[in-house]
Structures are given as C-alpha cells and as structure tokens.
Amino acid sequence: MKEPHLILGIGELLWDLLPEGPRLGGAPANFTVMAGRLGNHSAILSRIGRDDLGREAVHRLDPLPADTSFLQIDPAHETGRVTVSFKHGQPEYTIHHPAAWDSLELSDEWVRLAERADAICFGSLAQRSVESRQTIQTLAAQASSRCVRIFDVNLRPPFYSSEVIQESLELATVVKMNDAEVPQVMALLGMQADDDSTVGSLRLSAERLLVEFPTLQTVAVTRGGQGSLLVTRQEWHQHPGFPVKVVDTIGAGDAFTAAMTHYLLRGADLPVLNEAGNRWGSWVASQSGAMPPLTDATRAEIDTAIEQSA
C-alpha cells in the first residue's frame, strides 16, 4: 500500500471568538484537518502560547487527523485570537496581535519536513510579521520541485502588502483566492483587472497571473454559492457549485483548498478538482464551524459523488 501523501499547513492556529463561544480555527489549521480527513498525513506547522487556549487547541485537535507534534510553544506570546462578528451573514474579523504565530521559528525539523512534503499550503495573513514571513517563505523555497505549493490568499486588512503577495506568488505552483480578492490582488501587483466578478473577467485575470509568474501552474477562484473557476495554461473549467443551506462560511474555502490539493496529488483533471472542492466546501458551509464532526457515512457519500463525476 502506498504511503499517504505528506501535506503541511503552515501559519496561524487560532481561536475564533464567536458570539456563541470560542471555536478553533485559522486557515492552515482548517486546511490541515480536512487534508487529514481525506486520508493524507497532514501536519500543522504553527506556534501556540504556553496558556490555556494553547493547551485547549492541542486537546481539540488530538482526536482529529491532524499531526500536532510539530507545533512550537511560545513562552512570551499568547495563542492567537480573532474576534468574529457577522454582518448580513458574512464574518468580520478583529485579529489580535501580536500572537504566538507571529513568531514562527525556522527549525531544522520544519525544514526537513518541508523538503519531503508532497504539498504545502501557506497564506498571506501569517506573513504579517517579518519573522513568520521569512520562515514561511524559506520553507516554501526549501520544498522539492515536485511539491505542490499552494498560496492561499487571505486578505485581512491591514495585514497584507503587495510585497507579500508578489513574493508568495513567485514561490507558489497554485494560488487560491475568492472572487472578491482577485481585483484586489491584481491592483496590489499593479496589473490590469476588471472590477466585475464575471467568469470571463476572473479568467482573464487568472491568465495574466499565469503569464506573470512562471512557476504558477493553476489559479483557483472560489465564488461562494456560485461555485469556482480553475485556470491553467492549457485549459479552464467552471463549476456551478452546490445549493446548500448555509450555516456559516467559516472554513468552507479551506475545505475547498484541501480537497483540491488531495485530488491534484492524485493527478485528477480540472472537473474532478472542481467537483471535490465544491463538494467538501459546501458540506463545511452547511455545518457549524470549520472542523465539524464528520461521519464515515458522510465521507463515503461525498467520496462516491466525486468519483462518479470523473
């Protein structure tokens, strides 16, 4: 039997402080849990405080298929926290700083992991501090040429810059963003983009990015309830999404990214990547939180639907 793929989620592990109480999250953590649920050896590379929230984070992750053995403990900074409020059903975030994940250390252990990883996922938010930014970009650069390097754009003002976007895209083989982020990213790069979010406009922007960044192979754009768009140099594919009753959207994009990565490592074509991303993203959106309980029956049902789409 083949070894499971090694997938790393690098960046913020934090608590979303929601109106109904604290919930564990952070895009890399959400991504890692979903990648693990799909059968990969997934590890989270982050940093937590020596505090109750840090201990509780590990306690919550322990029963989930995410390897926490590489987490760093920060003696000086608190575990990350984000205050979340909702406006018209969409989350708004107050991201407290500094947090432990602002001090990611480039350890030999992390470098060795990155060198043998099949895929790594990193975002823009965790690069708001110089130290974590250098660590994340070094790990991405140390990965092998066969490693799928996903840059998950996560524009949380004021924690991003044109430099971080540019440098991350230069390291990535896949970039994932939502339709609202596409014109923002293009503007930050000084590149032309249409303001509307039609598929045609999004595809043109994706094609411009592929020309500008030679290492980039795939641009993934999520469109909320309208599905997603995948663009490579050779082809593109649009998926209409699945109608679901949305409970909350936290973690839905991360589930999309993890499912897309899982099937990308298996050589699936664009329609299957889109189907998998939308199936798992819509399932998370139909549940409460980014790491909802997952039964074997649900997992089998979604897996079968994805296989039948191939």
AA identity, residue 115: E
pLDDT in tens, 74-83: 999 999 999 8
Say if 1 falls within a structural domain.
Answer: no
Q: What is the pLDDT of residues 271-295, one digit of tens each?
A: 999 999 999 999 999 998 889 999 9
Write the CA distances from 201 to 192, 225, 229, 231, integer angstroms: 11, 18, 11, 12
Predicted TM-score (pTM) of the model is 0.94
Domain count, the chain: 1
Question: What's the gap between Cα 246 and its chain centre?
Answer: 20
Residue 123 to residue 130: CA distance in whole angstroms: 14
CATH of the domain at 38: 3.40.1190.20
182 assigned to some structural domain? yes
Whether residue 136 is contained in a domain is answered as yes
List C-alpha distances in Å: 25 to 36, 87, 89, 91, 150: 15, 19, 18, 13, 19
Residue 56, in any domain of the structure: yes
Domain contains 75: yes
Q: Which residues of 170-183 are buried (b: 16+ CB within 10 A; e: fewer)?
A: bbbbbbbbbbebbb
Q: Which amino acid is at 280?
A: W
Q: Quick check: is 124 in a domain?
A: yes
Q: Give the domain range for residue 70.
A: 6-309
Write out pLDDT tens, residues 217-271: 999 999 988 999 999 999 999 999 999 999 888 899 999 999 999 999 999 999 9
Looking at this protein, which amino acid is placed at residue 234? Q
Residue 122, strand partner residues: 10, 151
Answer yes or no: is 279 within a domain.
yes
Question: What would the two tokens of residue 242 be?
Answer: 């699945």
